[in-house]
Chain A
Amino acid sequence: MRQRRLLRFHGLKRPRVRQTWNKYNLFNLTRLRTPLLQNKTFFQQKWIAKSMTRGYHGEHIKEYQWERMFSRRLLSAVNMDPAYMAQYDGSEQASGRGSGQKRRPGTKNHGPRNKGNINGPTPYMQMIFAPMERRLDVAIFRALFASSARQARQFVLHGAVTVNGKKMTYPGYLLNPGDMFQVNIERVMAATGRPKMPNKNQKALPPSSEATEAAEGEEGEAAEGEATEAAEGAAEPVDADAAKENHRAALKGLKDRARKIMLMKNVHMRAKQKQSLRKFLQEVKTNMDRTRKASDPSKAEMDDVERELTALLSDLSLTPAQLKAEAKKAYIERNKKRDRQLAAAAADTNADASTTTKTIRAGAAAASLGLLTESQQSVLKWMMQREAENPHDASKPYATPWKPREWMSPFAFIPRYLEVNQRVCAAVYLRHPVARPGKSEVPSPFSPTLSQLAFNWYLRRG
C-alpha cells in the first residue's frame, strides 16, 4: 500500500521541492518563491517555513527524529592566510581604540589582510539542516549515486552499501569524518541510467547503431577518399560506389558479430563459446575467399590483410584493460610507421614512387574488397573498446548502452564535504559541512528568510 504522504509527492497544486531528480520536481523548483509572509503571525510564518523546508530536507525522516538531530550550534570556518599569520600577530587589529586603526582616506594601502575569504556575511541560517547531510542515505543521494534520497535509503536497506568496507544496513547511520561509503555499481547504474522500455526495444537498438553509423560514415568517407586516390594514382577503373557499399555491408556484419563476441567475453569462456568463436573466424575466412575470387589482386597482399584481420578479431576476446593497451600500441606503431614513411618520402621522392603507389593500391584493394584498411582497423578497435566499457547487454535492468537518465543534469552537483570517485562508486565524507563567509555547504533550495524562520521554529523559544 502506498503511504499517504507519498500520494502527491510531486504535486503541482501544492508544490514541494523534493530530494529527487524528477522533472516535476524541476518544474516545482522553478516555481519556488518565498511566500508572502507580511500578513501572517510569527507562528504562522515559522510554521510555513518549517513545513516547506522539511518537505525537502529529509521528508522521509520522522519529525521527532529530526528534532533529536537538530543542533543550534552551526559550524563555520574561516581561512587563515599563512602569509598574513607569518607577518602579523593580530595586535594590529587591537590598535587604535581597540578595533583596528582607521585607514587614512586617499591611501591605496589597505593594510594587512587575511586573504582567501569572500567579503561577506557568513550564511549561518542556511546551515540548519547540516546534521541531516551526515545521514548515510542523504550522503548517498548527494554523491549522485541515487536519483532520490528515498532510493538511497532503499539501497542501504537492501544491503547494497558498505561503510569502510563493512555492510551497513542503517540509513540513519551518521557518517563520521573520514568514513568511506561505497554503493554497488550495478545499483548506481540502474538508478542513474535510463530505464529500460519494454515496448521500445526496437527503438532502443538504433541509438547504439546510430553511434556506430556515425563512425561508419567517417570510415565510408575515408574509404571513398582512398578509392579516388587509387583511381588517380594507379589509374585503375574502380567502381567507387559499389566498393563503398560492399565495404559498408562487410563492416556492419563484422561489427554485429564482434559485438556478440564482446558479450561472450564478459562471461567465463566455455567450450561451446570457443567453438562458436572458431566458427566465426572460419566464416570470415570463407567470406574473404569469396571476395578474392570476385576480383584477383596479388595473393601476398591479400594474405597480409587476412592475417591482420584475424589478429584483430582474436584480440576481441581480450579484457578491456588489455584492449586499451593494444589500442595504444597500435596507435604508437601507426605513428612510427607514418614518420618512417615521411622520412623515406623526404629522402627520395621520385625514386620511391613505386612503393607509395603500391601501398595506395593495397589500401584501395582492401577498400574495394570490403576489408579493413589500417585506419579503419584502429577506428574499429577504438569502437570495440568503447563497446567493451559500455556494452549492449539485455540482461541489465537499465537501457544499454548506459546513458544518464533524462532531466538529471540540472540536479548534478557534489558538495565540498564529499569526495567522490565515480569509477568505483565510492565517496568519502571528509568533514561536516561548514559555512564560510558568503558560502554555505548545505544544498538547500530555500531563501535565507525561510531558513531563518525554520531555524527559529526548531529553537523552540517563545
Chain B
Amino acid sequence: MPPRIPSSGCQPQRLLNCLESVPPPSPVPLSTLAPRHRPTASSRSSPQWSSSSSRPFSTTPAAQATKLRRKFQEWCDKNGPLFRETNPGDTNYVSRIMPVSDNQGTEPDQPFPNNKAFRSEPVLSERARETIWWSVMVKGVPLKAVSAEFSVDMRRVAAVVRMKEIEKRWERENKPLALPYAYAIAKMLPRRDLVEGEANFEPINDIHVHSYTMQQLFVPASESREFTRADAAKAFGDRVLPPDAKMRIPELVQMERSIVEGTPPREARAQFIANAGASEAAFAERQRARQQGAEAKRTRVNTDRFEFRFEKINAEDVGPTGRARKAAGWRYGAPLMDRRRGEVKIPTRVE
C-alpha cells in the first residue's frame, strides 16, 4: 500500500484554499499582470508576489523569444515597409534587397535569388488584351497574322480572345468581375501594352527540341555534299521532322523568302496575311468536314425522352484481351478493372 498523504497537504486541497482566499470582486492590480520576463526595477525592489492571494500557480518564467525569432522580427521590422505593400510602378521581389545571393549576382526581375534561369517575364496588360481581342473579333485578322504582328504566341492569342469573350459576356449579364483584384495584380507584375517601340513580347517561332536530336551523332558525309537541315533530321531518325516542317507559322518563312527574292516588304506582308487567312480557312474547312463525316456515320433517333445515337462498330476491335482502349464495350467475360487497387480514375481529358 502506498503511503497516505495527509489531506491538508494534498494538491487539490491547497488549490481550493488558495482559491477561497482570493477576494472575488476586487480586480487584479495591473502590476501583477505585467509580463514577468521583463522585471522592472520597482518590481524587483518590492517582492511582486508578496500576498499569497494573487500568487499564480506556475513560477516558471515565460519562454523568451529565440534568437532566430528575434532575427525574424528584426528582418520584418526592417523590410516590412518594402514588401508588405506593392511597390508602385515596379515589381517587388526579394532580389531588390539581395544584390548577391549564393555567391552570384542577382537581377531585380528574379523572384528567386538563387535561380538565375527563372525570371518574372512581362504579362499582357489590359490594353494589350483589348487590342488583341479587337483585331481578332472585330477586324477579323487571322490569328497567325495577329500573332506575327504583336509577337505573341498563337496559342496565347487564342486564349486571350477566349477569356475576353467570357469577360464580355459577364459584363453583358451584369455578373460581377474581380476588378479590384485585377487592378492590384496588374500593379504587381511587369506588363506590356503591345505598342510601338516595345521589345518583342515572346518568341513566336518556337520549335520543340526532339529528344532524338539531343544526342551527339557522327554522320560521315563528303565535303562537297550540301548537308542541309532536312538531311540532318533524316540522319537523326525517320520520324524526326526538319525545322522547316515544324514551324508554327510557315507563312512567315514564305514571306521572308519572297522579300529575299525582291518582293517589296509591303506586298509580301499583304501576301502573308492572305496566306495566313487561307490556311486558317482550310483548317476550319477540314475540321468541319471531319465533323460532318463523323455525323454521317451516326444515326440519330429522337424519342420524346432520349436521343439514341447508333454507330456501326466492329466487335473485333476490342483485341485479344477485350480491353482495347478505343473499342466500344468490352468482350463478354473480361472483368472491368476499375475497382482494382491503385487504379487511377482521375479524368485525363475534359472537353
Contact = CB atoms under 8 A, between A and B. Distances in A.
A89 B228 contact: yes
A86 B178 contact: no
A196 to B, nearest CB: 15
Contact of B156 (A98, A419, A446): A419
Contacts of B159: 180, 419, 428, 430
Given A144-B185, A430-B155, A438-B117, A419 B160 contact: yes
Interface stretch (A102-110, A185-193, A234-242, A371-379): A185-193
B114 A32 contact: yes
A423 B260 CA distance: 44
Interface stretch (A163-171, A308-316, A333-341): A163-171
Contact of A424 (B153, B177, B186, B244): B177
Contact of B102 (A33, A179, A389): A33
Interface stretch (B10-18, B206-214, B302-310, B318-326): B206-214
B167 A409 contact: no
A393 B211 CA distance: 55
Interface string B156-197: 100110111011001100101111111011101100000000
Interface stretch (A38-46, A69-77, A274-282): A69-77
Interface stretch (A23-31, A244-252, A296-304): A23-31
A401 B180 contact: yes
Contact of A422 (B119, B182, B208, B348): B182
B98 A30 contact: yes
A12 B68 contact: yes
A441 B153 CA distance: 15
Given A30-B94, A91-B226, A402-B180, A443 B111 contact: yes
A78 B206 contact: yes
A79 B85 contact: no
A188 B178 contact: yes
Interface stretch (A218-226, A361-369, A410-418): A410-418
Interface of A: 12-13, 23-24, 26-27, 29-30, 32-34, 73, 75-83, 85-87, 89-91, 94, 98, 116-117, 123, 126, 144, 163-164, 166, 168, 170, 172-174, 176-180, 185, 188-189, 192-193, 319, 321, 389-390, 401-404, 406-416, 419-428, 430-431, 434-436, 438-448
23 contacts: A33-B114, A82-B205, A86-B254, A98-B227, A123-B117, A126-B118, A163-B350, A168-B347, A176-B348, A178-B155, A189-B180, A321-B174, A409-B86, A413-B91, A416-B202, A419-B124, A422-B182, A423-B167, A428-B162, A430-B153, A436-B203, A439-B117, A439-B118
Given A13-B66, A189-B180, A445-B112, 8 more contacts: A12-B69, A78-B209, A116-B200, A180-B162, A189-B181, A321-B171, A406-B84, A409-B92
Interface of B: 66, 68-69, 72, 75-76, 83-87, 91-94, 97-98, 101-102, 111-115, 117-121, 123-124, 129, 153, 155-156, 159-160, 162-164, 166-167, 170-171, 174, 176-182, 184-186, 188-189, 200, 202-203, 205-209, 211, 221, 226-230, 232, 243-244, 247, 249, 252-257, 259-260, 346-351
